């Protein structure tokens, strides 16, 4: 239920539970000056933001926009343990706090620091044979599972809050708690997944009992039964008879002031020095802990896998979680198809110009080339050194031989031959996936929002060409190019673009029989993806004062946050928002609203967001080969770093036509990552399991590929016979995750 809005950052109950009282958690820490104290209220937690905090968030946003073009790596002085000036400032800050502390506070600190050992419990799985004992001499986070072999665990004894003051530790934990609550709120509203384990810890902080009905999972179309027609229309539901009207850019009006306040809170949180310091240290600890775990248990994990019959990396399921349909084939495949089509259809009319219609032969004559002479080099669709940091040149690679006519003919759905060639190529790629059996893909098709008939044309192309593959699910990508359409006067305002994107979908949902092709097509759609050059920044900060979509008539492109809010608010009705993210402000918005993201390279610039992505286990589809040609050299890719820390990452190809050479681009992606990063079999199988978990295939298929208990977190949810992921690895991941979540609980309760 949406909470009402006032001018505060937290409500009184949350402050009391978290130990804030009436003090603003950022008042003494803001590098831009103290923020005002929070008023006492009796409303729900976390729905308020005072003017000073909002102003601070605006300054943070402005600094991000200013620095976005020049920062490609994390600043070496982002954390105080490296920067000498910040280190001295922190020491002075601690001495000042000690001088101002009362005798009562001093006694509380003494008790807190004197408590050198504390037992951090981990939720027990149903299969656990023993319960955790609360031992006073060391920290225990090691439950015993019946299904997990004995292995060597890493335990840290002593004061786990060392290096930060008590006040800072409490403040950091409260901020992280609030951020996780924001994520949980938006996931529940849109019926998306939020990990049960994290919810249990949040309810522990709230003093409430967790109930199973709080868990939501997206529902996707079940797999086709044997002999069933995936394009049947005789079973479409009746007309619901509703009348639709879009207001303020949203079919259903959603309170944007609440969303703006939540975004401002996150902006303020990720800029706080103590929060950055604490999360940076926790992330370093997670990385080091995994390396020690590998050193101690790598052979035991390998032993588990060797004793696992029938299953190995090659025959465990893996999904290409981020791939664009227009580039889903490799360059040799496209070249072979162009030559084959010329042999068969040389005299067929395939292209229309203003002057006349052209046969395929006449088109190549017009382009002054012959398909027989083409090579992969002359096709020139592969990205290389010349596309590094040049997204404009990369987009030109979608034009074979530099000719937009060939792109329109072979890689478009709406052309003179109704996208027949493109459909055939995709079906051939699907046939290759079926032959491989254990590989799946989630290609993206584009809806631009330029005209309201885009959906009907795309769905007609999909159904008429019968583009179905059991190893494929589909996503809709929405390029953020409103400025291009507005400049050419195709759209009067941004609201019209939103209407063109979403109204046809709502109409087909309400009256499927009036839109049979679109209704069938929507059954195969699992999510929406917001795409564009992620290095671009609009400079507009989304807030409750932002123009309504119908008022956005300027030629300037709205910000990523503006796009995402209105996409989320509309997609909310369909329950499948899944997006990508680039800049830090993009990542912050994605943390709130997106089921998963792609690339995530800029997470390394923000330890706070990176740690939050770990705590919330937000899926990230990474494409190191794509990044190597566009943004970041392969060896510098954070893939291995994210994997070691325990973020939920998968591997994807992005654009095989531009970046890959073989018939199996996903296996090529895994093979290169395994060689460069020296991944073990268990590492690769863990990444493959993550890809199945985060993709949009149905519950029935996931249960078949991962095991009946795959929804359970930890080793109890892993069926090694299907995933080939060692139970030791699953137990390590689960216990480490629970340890970090429990630190937040302890930090908040220590202040009570």
Torsion sign over Cα 537, 538, 544, 548:
negative
Catalytic residue, candidates 322, 324, 382, 599: 599
Check if the beta carbon of residue 432 is closer than 8 Å to that of residue 664.
yes
Query: 590 with 598: CB under 8 angstroms?
Result: no
Specify the 3-state DSSP secondary structure of 575: coil
Question: How far, in Å, CA of 35 to CA of 23, rounded?
Answer: 10
| Nearest-angstrom CA–CA distance, 206 and 209 | 9
599 in active site: yes
Question: How many residues belong to the chain?
Answer: 752
Q: What Å distances lie between residue 530 and 191, 388, 482, 483, 561, CA to CA?
A: 19, 22, 12, 15, 11
Half-sphere exposure of 498 (CA within 13 A, CB side): 27
* CA–CA–CA angle 669, 614, 295 (5° rounding): 70
Using DSSP's 3-state secondary structure scheme, residue 42 falls into coil
Spatial distance between the Cα atoms of 688 and 686, rounded to a whole number of angstroms:
5
Q: Across-strand partners of 48?
A: 6
Nearest to 517 by CA among 444, 590, 413, 433: 413
H helix intervals, 39-190: 51-67, 84-100, 103-114, 166-189
CA distances (Å), 417 to each of 131, 325, 424, 461, in order?
66, 18, 12, 10
Residue 632: name the closest of 534, 732, 515 by CA.
Answer: 534
Closest Cα to residue 297, out of 122, 157, 149?
149
Residues that are catalytic: 599
């Amino acid at each position: 239920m949406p909470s009402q809005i006032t001018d505060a950052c937290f409500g009184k109950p949350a402050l009391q539970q978290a130990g804030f009282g009436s003090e603003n958690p950022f008042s003494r820490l803001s590098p831009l000056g103290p923020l005002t104290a929070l008023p006492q209220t009796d409303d729900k937690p976390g729905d308020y933001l005072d003017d000073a905090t909002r102003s601070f968030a605006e300054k943070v946003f402005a600094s991000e926009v200013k620095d976005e073009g020049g920062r490609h790596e994390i600043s070496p002085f982002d954390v105080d343990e490296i920067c000498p000036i910040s280190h001295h400032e922190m020491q002075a800050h601690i001495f000042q706090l000690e001088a101002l502390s009362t005798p009562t506070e001093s006694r509380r600190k003494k008790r807190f620091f004197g408590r050198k050992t504390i037992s951090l419990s981990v939720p027990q799985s149903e299969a656990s044979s023993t319960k955790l004992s609360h031992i006073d001499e060391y920290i225990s986070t090691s439950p015993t599972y019946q299904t997990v072999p004995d292995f060597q665990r890493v335990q840290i004894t002593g004061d786990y809050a060392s290096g930060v003051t008590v006040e800072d530790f409490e403040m950091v934990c409260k901020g992280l708690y609030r951020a996780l609550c924001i994520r949980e709120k938006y996931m529940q509203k849109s019926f998306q997944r939020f990990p049960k384990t994290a919810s249990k810890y949040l309810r522990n902080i709230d003093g409430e009992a967790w109930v199973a009905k709080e868990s939501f999972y997206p529902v996707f179309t079940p797999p086709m039964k044997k002999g069933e027609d995936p394009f049947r229309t005789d079973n479409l539901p009746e007309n619901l008879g509703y009348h639709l009207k879009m207001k303020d850019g949203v079919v259903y009006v959603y309170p944007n002031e609440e969303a703006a306040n939540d975004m401002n809170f996150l902006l303020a949180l990720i800029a706080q020095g103590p929060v950055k310091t604490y999360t940076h240290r926790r992330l370093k600890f997670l990385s080091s802990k995994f390396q020690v775990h590998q050193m101690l248990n790598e052979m035991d994990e390998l032993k588990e896998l060797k004793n696992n019959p029938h299953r190995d990396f090659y025959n465990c399921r893996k999904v290409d979680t981020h791939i664009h349909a227009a580039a889903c084939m490799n360059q040799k495949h496209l070249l072979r198809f162009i030559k084959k089509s010329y042999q068969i259809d040389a005299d067929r009319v395939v292209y229309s110009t203003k002057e006349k219609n052209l046969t395929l032969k006449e088109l190549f004559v017009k382009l002054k080339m012959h398909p027989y002479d083409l090579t992969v080099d002359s096709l020139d669709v592969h990205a290389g050194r010349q596309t590094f940091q040049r997204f404009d040149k990369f987009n030109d690679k979608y034009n074979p031989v530099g000719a937009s006519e060939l792109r329109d003919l072979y890689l478009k759905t709406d052309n003179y031959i109704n996208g027949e060639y493109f459909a055939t190529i995709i079906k051939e790629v699907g046939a290759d996936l079926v032959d491989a059996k254990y590989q799946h893909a989630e290609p993206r098709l584009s809806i631009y929002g330029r005209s309201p008939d885009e959906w009907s044309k795309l769905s007609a192309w999909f159904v008429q060409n019968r583009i179905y593959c059991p190893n494929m699910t589909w996503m809709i990508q929405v390029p953020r190019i409103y400025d291009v359409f507005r400049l050419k006067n195709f759209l009067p305002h941004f609201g019209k673009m939103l209407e063109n994107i979403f109204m046809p979908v709502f109409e087909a949902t309400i009256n499927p029989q009036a839109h049979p092709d679109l209704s069938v097509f929507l059954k195969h759609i699992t999510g929406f993806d917001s795409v564009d050059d992620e290095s671009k920044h609009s400079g507009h900060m989304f807030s409750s004062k932002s123009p309504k979509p119908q008022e956005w008539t300027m030629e300037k492109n709205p910000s990523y946050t503006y796009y995402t809010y209105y996409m989320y608010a509309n997609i909310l009705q369909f329950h499948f928002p899944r997006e990508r993210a680039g800049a830090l402000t993009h990542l912050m918005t994605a943390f709130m609203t997106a089921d998963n993201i792609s690339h995530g390279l800029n997470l390394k610039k923000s330890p706070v967001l990176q740690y939050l992505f770990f705590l919330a286990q937000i899926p990230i589809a990474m494409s190191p080969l794509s990044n190597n040609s566009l943004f970041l050299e392969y060896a510098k890719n954070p893939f291995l770093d994210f994997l070691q820390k325990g973020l939920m990452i998968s591997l994807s190809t992005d654009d095989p036509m531009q970046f890959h050479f073989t018939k199996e681009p996903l296996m090529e992606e895994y093979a290169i990552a395994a060689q460069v990063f020296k991944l073990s079999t268990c590492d690769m199988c863990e990444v493959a399991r993550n890809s199945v978990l985060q993709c949009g295939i149905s519950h029935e298929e996931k249960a078949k590929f991962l095991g009946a208990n795959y929804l359970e977190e930890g080793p109890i949810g892993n069926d090694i016979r299907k995933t080939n992921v060692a139970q030791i690895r699953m137990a390590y991941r689960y216990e480490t995750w629970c340890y970090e979540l429990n630190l937040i609980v302890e930090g908040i309760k220590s202040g009570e």
